[in-house]
Homo-oligomer: A and B are copies of this chain.
Amino acid sequence: MSPAAEAEAPWARRPKRADGRRNYDAILDAARVAFAERGTGASLEDIAKSAGVAIGTLYGHFPTRETLVEATIREQLDQLDQAAAAQADGDGDPLGSLTTWMRLAVEHCSTYRGLASFLAGSTYTAGAPLHHTSVTVHKAAAPLLARAKQADRIREDVTAEELYAVITAAAWARENSPASTDHSVRLMAFMVAGMSPSAEVPARA
């Protein structure tokens, strides 16, 4: 919650010098491959080796694993943000817009094994590198959620936090589903149906 944390995130910037940018990008590329293959717990030394840089170079650009994870998915999250804005501006079916966007969010939040845990963990930790990501997803969802509520397709008492919990839980299910059958789509369908005003759900305590 310190103002310094909000002010400037040094790890968020690409280096200015040409060789620095080249290494920075090479590390990101290698990280994406490694995370895709072995999850977000992949060996940082292997990533540095694949990128052709010394381990110290990796730490220079990304002081913690979470900063590296954040950087590998930043563009996808921007895209998710834009998709939400596009859906909210359109005049399509409010529930359809929400569910379509949620499915996209689930895909993005399950890009790598372990990502959903990182995202869930950073939500309530203001200083975390992924906290900004988490907040962005919350904000992106808000207008879509509001529109679905106004159209009486989603219960009034569903909060943005709960929607985020639904998305990350489904993303986790996707990460942990066998390749043959992805359970997350069915879980999402159940949860969205359960969030309907017509569903029999006890009020929150």
Contacts and interface: CB of A to CB of B under 8 A. Distances in A.
Interface stretch (A16-24, A42-50, A127-135, A182-190): A182-190
A165 B169 contact: no
Contacts of A60: none
Contacts of A169: 169-170, 172-173, 183, 187
A77 interface: no
Contact of A189 (B181, B198, B202): B202
A124 to B, nearest CB: 5
Contacts of A173: 120, 165, 168-169, 172
Interface residues of A, number: 34
A166 interface: yes
Number of copies of this chain in the oligomer?
A: 2
The binding surface of chain A is classed by DSSP as helix
A196 B189 contact: no
Contact of A120 (B121, B176, B181, B193): B176
A196 B201 CA distance: 11
Given A165-B177, A165-B183, A196-B200, 9 more contacts: A161-B183, A162-B183, A162-B187, A165-B186, A165-B187, A166-B190, A168-B173, A168-B176, A191-B194
